[in-house]
Amino acid sequence: MTASQSIEAPQNGARAGVAATGLSALGVVFGDIGTSPLYTLKTVLNLTGSAPSADIVLGLLSLLLWTLIVITSIKYVIFAMSIDNDGEGGILALMALLGIKKQQRPAIVALGLFGAALIYGDGAITPAISVLSAMEGLDVAAPALKPFVLPATVVILIGLFALQPLGTAKIGKAFGPIMLVWFAVMAALGVRGLLLHPSVLLALNPLYGLRFLASHGMTSFLALGGVFLCVTGAEALYADMGHFGARPIRLAWSFIVFPSLLLNYAGQCAIVLDGASTESNIFYQLCPAPLLLPFILLATVATIIASQSIITGAFSMTRQAIQLGWLPRLRIAQTSQEGYGQIYVGVVNWLLMAVTVGLALIFKKSDNLASAYGIAVSATMLMTSALLYIAMREIWNWSFLRSAAIAGAFLVVDAAFFLANLAKIADGGYVPLILAASVYTIMLVWHRGMNAVTQAAQQKGVAVGPFLAEVAAKKIARVPGGAVFLTRTNADVPPIMLWHIRHNRALHEKLIVLTVNTLSVPWTKPDERLTITTLAPNFWRGTARYGFMERPDIPGLLKQADAAGCTLPLDDITYFVGHETVISREDGKGLFGQETALFALMERNAAHVSDFFRLPEDGVVEIGRQVAI
């Protein structure tokens, strides 16, 4: 092998790896934005409320194309994806970086949390509108099938959510190739439409869009709410960056997804100018009649893949929020050993299913559901732009003028879309806002409640010296083996150990008090995950550190304890955990009564701490206690 060959081979392998990762990303990252042509143009034309003249069509197409360029290509692909939290992206990761990792800043945390809560609202609407849009192609192919569109949509949605406990590891491998076919077919159909009226490419000139906005008054403002639908799903490019890396996502967007979207939107506008009816779905009118049914099938599969991506994203975001302490512990099942992201969260799955199916039944048509769509995403994007400004100043150390100029431009664009979407509140836009407000309330109450419980526990600690002296004076029996006391306290002897002695009159020979902290970074280095401090002979305090993307495994972690001088008998360990019964403080200085009641309800129904930390079922002792907050 020559020197040039030896250098070239790894490069070819690297290229192949990037290409394979980019193909996988097509099935996960781009499902939502890739299926938006199904309903976007028809929604926009309906909002204009007038006959689609050449000026209107070219103006709308120009707005669609430049919205894709400014928001997706520039804001997310170029800027947002250049700011990461140790490789992870998305509004929660950005919030953790700026609002927790740098310093405790409640305003930034609130901004990020509400943005994340809004994504749940979007996650409920996306499957409903996507599958409805795909199934409405049956009406185009055979009008007699129109009564079956809604029932078929409901069946598909229920089936999709019902399959979630089985995982998607095996069929997920086919998602990328299927979406590649989808984008190729969309591009080909777009070219077919362009051949009928190639003059629509004039819309690449942004002046057409600006002229439309300037000359149509309130109509153009309302149309922005529909135009925005073309970028729903752009946030996924940033949020999924940690799974695939920035480069594969950027390449897939630039060379496959964006050209396909551009050609398809242009093709749809071309056939409208050529006289196509705007009463039925414009997207399907691009397809030759003999190929319509196979194309509807492909569209349905594409929307199912897009919905799967949204559901998986909701699971992943839920785990992040749990780890960061903003949601109650929920039972999380790993559905595949091959990928960390292959998880299932039952509560989230069934709640999403109920809301999604309910939305489909209430709104009945994708046109109606489009009124509820967009407001959640536009609000999230507005909050992301605000966080990007802070990141430009604090992470990139840009000047005020430079940061304000770039982030300010994003804020102006996002604010325009958000205000346009606000006009849809009465027509269904209230749905994602109510969902987001509910999730945000749960997050806030849980976090405040957990902080109150931790503070209450800190006040009841006893210093190690007096505690051991009392154990010796009272001749408390010391039994063989080791005991791990899980606690939130960072000093002294935790209340759970005191209660154990009070009730059981015995103490193990070797003791470790262990506190588990979740950091504001996604991953921790293995050698930094456990810190051991000796408090007394055979008595240690341990601090475990996990990133918000990691799954805690305390028994596995304790295998590192011996190297730090903690000689626990790993084959003879009992884990002691507390189970709090939350009550209100008598002095009235704690949480509000309704807050306490809601937190107590969540605490009672949260997954058991032993499941969350993967403790052995036959080695856990639970000690009940009352905590006044």
pLDDT bin (cut points 50, 70, 90) of residue 7 is very low
Same domain, 539 and 498: yes
In this prediction, residue 103 carries a pLDDT of: 64
Cα-flanking dihedrals φ and ψ of residue 615, to 5°?
-80, 150
pLDDT digit string, tens, across residues 428-451: 888 888 888 999 999 999 988 888
pLDDT: is 404 or 167 the higher one?
Answer: 404
CA distance 189 to 536: 75
In this prediction, residue 159 carries a pLDDT of: 93
In this prediction, residue 49 carries a pLDDT of: 74
Closest CA to 270 of 39, 35, 41, 34: 41
pLDDT: is 459 or 601 the higher one?
Answer: 601
Position 372: which residue type? A
- Mean pLDDT across 206-235: 91
8 A C-beta contact, residue 321 and residue 47: no
For the chain, first and last CA: distance in Å?
A: 72
Final residue in a domain of this structure, among 423, 448, 478: 423
Answer whether residue 227 shows pLDDT above 60. yes
Answer whether residue 489 shows pLDDT above 90. no
CA distance 133 to 127: 10
Same domain, 460 and 419: no
The lowest-confidence range among 62-71, 202-211, 324-333 is: 324-333
Cα-flanking dihedrals φ and ψ of residue 518, to 5°?
-100, 125
Final residue in a domain of this structure, among 407, 423, 439: 423
Position 133: which residue type? S
CA distance 247 to 252: 9
pLDDT: is 455 or 70 the higher one?
Answer: 70
Q: Look at residue 591 and tell me if it is in a domain.
A: yes
Mean pLDDT of the chain: 87
In this prediction, residue 543 carries a pLDDT of: 94
Which letter does DSSP use for residue 488 in this model?
S
CA distance 297 to 302: 9
Same domain, 516 and 388: no
In this prediction, residue 185 carries a pLDDT of: 97
CA distance 501 to 451: 26
CA distance 29 to 238: 9
Final residue in a domain of this structure, among 405, 423, 441: 423
In this prediction, residue 97 carries a pLDDT of: 85
Residues in the chain: 629
- Mean pLDDT across 535-541: 92
CA distance 600 to 603: 5
pLDDT bin (cut points 50, 70, 90) of residue 339 is low
Same domain, 256 and 118: yes
Q: Look at residue 432 and tell me if it is in a domain.
A: no
Estimate to the nearest angstrom the gap between the alpha carbon of 23 and the chain centroid: 21
List all residues 6 or more positions away from 445 whose beta carbon is below 8 Å from its beta carbon: 591, 595, 598, 599, 602
Report helix, strand or coil for 566.
coil
Q: CA angle, corner 105, sides to 104 and 107, nearest 5? A: 155
Q: Report in angstroms the alpha-carbon separations of 244 from 18, 25, 73, 77, 236.
A: 9, 7, 17, 14, 12
8 A C-beta contact, residue 578 and residue 608: no
- Count of structural domains, the chain: 2
In this prediction, residue 14 carries a pLDDT of: 53
In this prediction, residue 352 carries a pLDDT of: 93
pLDDT bin (cut points 50, 70, 90) of residue 62 is very high
Same domain, 465 and 405: no
Q: Look at residue 22 and tell me if it is in a domain.
A: no
List all residues 6 or more positions away from 486 whose beta carbon is below 8 Å from its beta carbon: 496, 514, 515, 516, 554, 575, 576, 577, 578, 609, 613
Answer whether residue 8 shows pLDDT above 50. no
Answer whether residue 337 shows pLDDT above 90. no
3-state SS of 356-392? HHHHHHHHCCHHHHHCCCCHHHHHHHHHHHHHHHHHH
Closest CA to 200 of 72, 53, 47, 73: 53
pLDDT digit string, tens, across residues 256-306: 999 999 999 999 999 999 888 888 889 999 999 899 999 999 999 999 998
pTM of the model: 0.84
pLDDT bin (cut points 50, 70, 90) of residue 502 is confident
Same domain, 402 and 532: no
- Mean pLDDT across 215-232: 90
In this prediction, residue 392 carries a pLDDT of: 95
pLDDT digit string, tens, across residues 460-484: 668 888 999 999 998 999 999 999 9
In this prediction, residue 581 carries a pLDDT of: 81
Same domain, 80 and 137: yes
pLDDT digit string, tens, across residues 388-405: 999 999 999 999 999 999
Share of the chain above pLDDT 70, in %: 94
Answer whether residue 9 shows pLDDT above 50. no
pLDDT bin (cut points 50, 70, 90) of residue 5 is very low
Which letter does DSSP use for residue 607 in this model?
P
Q: Look at residue 441 and tell me if it is in a domain.
A: no
In this prediction, residue 606 carries a pLDDT of: 87
CA distance 487 to 516: 8
In this prediction, residue 341 carries a pLDDT of: 64
Q: Look at residue 614 and tell me if it is in a domain.
A: yes
Answer whether residue 413 shows pLDDT above 90. yes
- Mean pLDDT across 336-347: 74
Helices (DSSP H) in 136-240: which residue ranges?
137-141, 149-162, 169-172, 175-196, 206-215, 217-227, 234-239
Domain region containing 563: 456-628
Same domain, 413 and 485: no
In this prediction, residue 206 carries a pLDDT of: 96
8 A C-beta contact, residue 391 and residue 98: yes
Q: Look at residue 25 and tell me if it is in a domain.
A: no
8 A C-beta contact, residue 522 and residue 547: yes
In this prediction, residue 603 carries a pLDDT of: 87
pLDDT digit string, tens, across residues 87-110: 888 888 888 888 876 666 788 888
Same domain, 355 and 471: no
CATH of the domain at 272: 1.20.1740.10
List all residues 6 or more positions away from 442 whose beta carbon is below 8 Å from its beta carbon: 327, 328, 598, 602
In this prediction, residue 338 carries a pLDDT of: 59
Q: Look at residue 99 and tell me if it is in a domain.
A: yes
Q: Look at residue 27 and tell me if it is in a domain.
A: no
Same domain, 412 and 481: no
Same domain, 473 and 342: no
Q: Report in angstroms the alpha-carbon separations of 502 from 61, 477, 488.
A: 74, 12, 20
In this prediction, residue 459 carries a pLDDT of: 65
Q: Which residue is it, tokens 């325009």?
A: 416
Same domain, 192 and 244: yes
pLDDT bin (cut points 50, 70, 90) of residue 16 is low
CA distance 309 to 316: 10
- Mean pLDDT across 593-606: 87
- Mean pLDDT across 68-96: 91
